[in-house]
Amino acid sequence: MKTRNSAKLVVVSVLLAGANTGNACEIERDFVTGMWRGNCNLTIDPKAPKVEVPYIDAKTGRIHIRMPDLLIDKFKYSLVGNDLEVYVDVVNEGLQSSFATEVGLTIIVRDPSDHRVVSTVRPVRPVPALAAGARQRIYMTTVYPNASAQDWEVVTTGMVDLTTVAQPVRGLVIESNETNNGLVHLCIVYGPNPTVSSLPLCN
C-alpha cells in the first residue's frame, strides 16, 4: 500500500512540475485517514506571482476499524444412516481478536410435501476467542431425519454472538459489523425414492 501511494505521489509531482524544475507539490500523508494532502506550486514563469493550489487525494479506500467481526461462514452436515450431525463454521473477519462468546442454532426437520414440522432443536455451544482471520468448526447437535421412507427438508438458522439480557442489541462482542452474525440454510435428505428438489443435499 505504501509503495502504491508513493508511486502516485511521484506521478503527481512530475505531471504538475512540467519542464520548470521550480514547480513541485509538497505532499504529506495523513496517517489517520490515509489521504495525501498538500500544496502544489503551479507557477510557470518564475518572475510571475506564485500560484498555489491545495491537493487532496480523496480516492483512498475506506477506513478500517480494528475490531473483531464474527460471522457464520457455513453449516456442515454429516449423514450416517439416519443420524445427521450438524456443525457450524465461525470465522472472525475483523482486524482484531474476539472474546469468547456463544453460537446458537434452530434446526427444523420438515416434510417437503406439506412443510409439516416433525422436529425442532435449539442447541447453543461456546465459541472460543478467535484471532483476526481465524475460523473454528463447532459441533452443534445430531438430528434424526428417518429417510428410510421419504425425503426430509432441514432448515438451519444460526446466530453467533447471541444477544443477552444485559446486551439485547449486540451480544458480548463489540464488532465492526453487528448486522452479519446470522445465517439461514435449507438442504434436503433424500429417502429411497427421491423427489425432484432445488435444495442442495445436506453435506
Contacts for 161 with CB less than 8 Å, ≥ 6 apart: 70, 101, 102, 103, 127, 170, 171, 172, 173, 175, 181
Q: What is the pLDDT along the chain (203 residues), one digit of tens a residue?
A: 333 443 344 334 434 444 444 556 777 776 666 667 777 776 667 777 777 777 666 555 555 678 999 999 999 999 999 999 999 999 999 999 999 999 999 999 999 999 999 999 999 999 999 999 999 999 999 999 999 999 999 999 999 999 888 888 889 999 999 999 999 999 999 999 999 999 999 99
Sheet of strand 25-29, all strands in order from the earlier edge strand to the far edge: 25-29, 36-41, 52-56
Which amino acid is residue 161, in one-letter code?
D
pTM for the model stands at: 0.68
**Is the Cα dihedral 126, 121, 74, 192 positive or negative?**
positive
The answer to whether the CB of 134 falls within 8 A of the CB of 91 is yes
Where do the domains of the chain lie?
2-56, 70-189
CA distance 43 to 73: 56
Binning the chain into helix, strand and coil, the percentages to the nearest 5 are 10, 40, 50
Q: What is the CATH T-level fold of the domain 70-189, as seen in this structure?
A: Immunoglobulin-like (2.60.40)
Contacts for 180 with CB less than 8 Å, ≥ 6 apart: 69, 71
